[in-house]
Structure 1
Amino acid sequence: MRTKIYMLLLCGTLFFQTSCAQKKKKDNQVQELPFAQFQWNVVDKEGNEQPIDTVEYNDKMALHLPKGHIAYLKNKKFKDFEIKFDVIGFVMPGLGFRGQDKENYELIYLRENSSNKKDALQYIPIFNGSLPWQLYNYPKYEASATFTEEKIASFPLSIEHYLEKGVISNSLRLKLEEKGVRYSPNAQVQLVNERTWGIGDAEQYKGSFLRETATNWELWDPNVWSHVKIIVVGDRASVYVQDMEIPRMTVDLKRDVKTGDISLRNQFFDAFYTNVSIKDLGDGTLSIKNNREEVLSDNYIKKWQISPKFIKNENGILSQLDSIRENGATWKYVETDVDGLLNISRFISQMNGSVALKTIIHSETKQDASMHIGYAKHLIVVLNNEVVFNKEMDMKKEEGRVFVDNENLNLNLLQGKNELFMILTGDEQYQQNWGVIAKLDKLNGIQIN
């Protein structure tokens, strides 16, 4: 009897193990994701549900996402995975993953109009709905990639006389039509840089680049399918474009490692996706190597106290700081990430108003100290109850990207305790960037609390 019971238990165990192995094998299989109502939920930028728009585009049946539209994968969540897709995006198509809700997720997107440039790929963590692309930048969070393009035609250098910003001129339209390239009267012409012009036509879902060479102007069509693979494992992600063997970008992810939603996203203009497939990598057999084992210097200010939000009075900021302290406002202790960056949106739910950060600098002697800072979008620095800095970020330099050497500021430190405040106002108009990074040049007899 005992032998029979043992055999039954053994068979049951083997059946359970086999079932688990089959399930694991099934989970690790590639899952094709057709664009059907049971598979995807499409919403517009206001969150209203929209019908799935599938069209034949550039010889492939594709999902069309207009400006600001998002396609959420239904009833499936992933933590570690490999996803592949073909994409045509006029500005910033991308992938959202590990989504906890519509305001909190990881995001990788493609700047197809920056092909071969150092900002062609970008990763940003989304906290409380902010889009902090200026805070997370190259070389760690942006990278170069080459997207597929096709040369359409060549024109003599004299075509430059027809290039003007704004609605396309009839003269330029006629010149293009001579080479079989037709644009609607409402197409827009924009200067990309001194040797490149962009032409976009929302009515026809098309665009092109006119690039100057030594002998002529060449018209290139960027609306060609690019093959993309993204692998997410643990706290890292790798992005492959065209070449599926060598990643173009590997990043350390900033949000907690959690299972979450997958979404195809489109920030601006129109995007098209096709051949979407995903594979669950949850068996723990794959890892992504970190090539950036760095230790942050003690010169960085890594610990702060952060105040509740308030409406800043720029002309009375000193009295406002006194009022916050006297009213017993609760300051919270916060720390920067491993790069020394403090993304305010991690701690504050809505980007309106201002916050104050404070720390204490102890100096053994009275001395001058040089501080390097980068910030978004407006910063006031107060040292020992004196305003020593008050500026808007410089949007012309690197398009406003935040680097620790954006600004240099001299601090007149007293012997002993020095109270340092930073009052930060975020990007209230676009809800994107709100943060700061700061370090002291030297720590001669200086200690940061």
Structure 2
Amino acid sequence: MTNIICAIIALLGFQLAIAQGPEIKVDMVASNWNVSEETRFEKFDNRETLVLNGGRITVKDQKFANGTIEVEVYANTIRSFAGITFRKQNNDMEEVYMRMHKSNQVDAVQYTPIFNNESNWQLYREKQARVSFKKTGWNSLRIEVNNQSAEVFVNDKKVMTIDKLRTEHNTGEIGLFALFPNRFSNFRFTPKEAVESTKKDSIAPVDPAIITKWEITKSKPYKAEEIHYENFLEEEYITVETEATGLLPISKYIKKSSSGNFEQNEEDYIVASTTVHSDNDETKLFSFDYSDRIIVYLNGKVLFKGNNTFRAKGIQYMGHIDINTNKLYLPLEKGVNNIHCVVIDKANGWGLIAKLE
């Protein structure tokens, strides 16, 4: 019996060794990182540190799929963002960051996918958390990744669950992100095998009124005087699908001509089109939202112009989107009706969501 118990213990230990690899510590020295001009390495507080003045930096020769990523960030009350990027492939990646100046506010920690080098936090209002940061010393950020979900911890307290990672990547590079200067230390990660969840995904039924497919054009620099409905009919369109909620993250499909520079970007636009078939002349309710700005056409006529830009309605205005924010009564004609939406964006999330009731 003793031999059997020992064999079981040995087997469990072997399986655990397979399931979880050793922790990999990435020292804060230039030889470990794909450095940029915005990076410097300094001895500080009796430890090696990396100071990132802005942008993103990745670890050399390392890929990450599942497991734990951890870093410590020195306390900072001046406006700044500091976080972790993972599963990076080209200019798409997952990103979680602490807004160090937003301690104890509802958006102190945020998650966003990065598509084509563009942040999309405005589109994922539910993926943020109220967190109190330490005012002195080091704040730890830890992300535990399992398949297409993740959990976020700040100073060892769980602050957020991400039920679905939006890039849908299975692996990629890992690294750090900063907007304005931040000091990082003690970066490490522990690879683990993914564990299949025994809990079924609790995805709410999709409202049948939601528009789940759009035809969209390529991106162009926005110039108001060049927007003419007649030109929309000559454009080439591709068919794209929304997320289950109806959200269309445009940067996932379209690369902007000016990207990656936040509010320093120039404005770009695409045209998103859908058709509505009606058996009779009738009126239907069109509920929608967008980021940043929009012009809505029905059968060639402008029905709506709106501005939902970050800070457009005050210093604290975030520009988040919600499908029930804007409502239009569309006078549909018998037969085929064409809706065209000119969606204009500078930064922080290029999106459209709509339903026709």
When normalised by structure 1's length, the TM-score is 0.67
Q: Tell me what 1:306 maps to.
A: 216
Q: Give me the identity figure in percent.
A: 26
Q: Tell me what 2:254 maps to.
A: 348
Query: Which AA in structure 1 matches 2:145?
Result: V
Structure 2 vs 1, CA of residues 424 and 86 (structure 1 numbering), >3 Å: closer, same or farther? same
The DSSP-based 3-state class of the residue aligned with 1:255 is coil
Structure 2 vs 1, CA of residues 377 and 288 (structure 1 numbering), >3 Å: closer, same or farther? farther
Q: Tell me what 2:93 maps to.
A: 105
Q: CA deviation at 1:286?
A: 6.3
Deviates more, 1:330-339 or 1:307-316: 307-316
Q: Distance in 2 between matches of 1:248 and 1:418?
A: 43
| Per-residue deviation, residues 2-60 of structure 1 (Å, max 9, x unmatched) | xxxxxxxxxxxxxxxx9xx6996496122222212332232246xxxx5x412314xx5
Query: Which AA in structure 1 matches 2:322?
Result: F
Q: Does 1:238 align with 2:163?
A: no
Q: Tell me what 1:121 maps to.
A: 109
2:290 to 375, 378, 383: 375
Q: Does 1:96 align with 2:6?
A: no
Q: Distance in 1 between matches of 2:124 and 2:184?
A: 26
Q: Tell me what 2:173 maps to.
A: 261
Structure 2 vs 1, CA of residues 259 and 381 (structure 1 numbering), >3 Å: closer, same or farther? same
Structure 2 vs 1, CA of residues 291 and 248 (structure 1 numbering), >3 Å: closer, same or farther? farther
2:161 to 237, 241, 249: 249
Q: Distance in 1 between matches of 2:206 and 2:100?
A: 33
The DSSP-based 3-state class of the residue aligned with 1:387 is strand
Q: Which runs of 5+ in 1 are unaligned?
A: 1-17, 149-221, 443-449
Q: Which runs of 5+ in 2 are unaligned?
A: 1-10, 259-267
2:354 to 405, 420, 438: 438
Q: Distance in 1 between matches of 2:16 and 2:33?
A: 24
Q: Tell me what 1:285 maps to.
A: 195
| Per-residue deviation, residues 320-360 of structure 1 (Å, max 9, x unmatched) | 332342x4x42111111122111111111224542111111
Q: Distance in 2 between matches of 1:313 and 1:26?
A: 54
Root mean square deviation, CA, Å? 2.7
Query: Which AA in structure 2 matches 1:28?
Result: G
2:313 to 386, 391, 396: 396
- Structure index of larger Rg: 1
Identify the structure with the greater strand proportion. 2
2:187 to 253, 264, 276: 276
8 Å contact kept, 1:106–1:126: yes
8 Å contact kept, 1:42–1:69: no
Q: Tell me what 2:71 maps to.
A: 85
Q: Distance in 1 between matches of 2:103 and 2:252?
A: 31
Q: CA deviation at 1:310?
A: 4.1
Deviating beyond 6 angstroms after TM superposition, the runs of 4 or more aligned structure 1 residues are: none
When normalised by structure 2's length, the TM-score is 0.82
Q: Tell me what 1:417 maps to.
A: 336
Q: CA deviation at 1:97?
A: 0.4
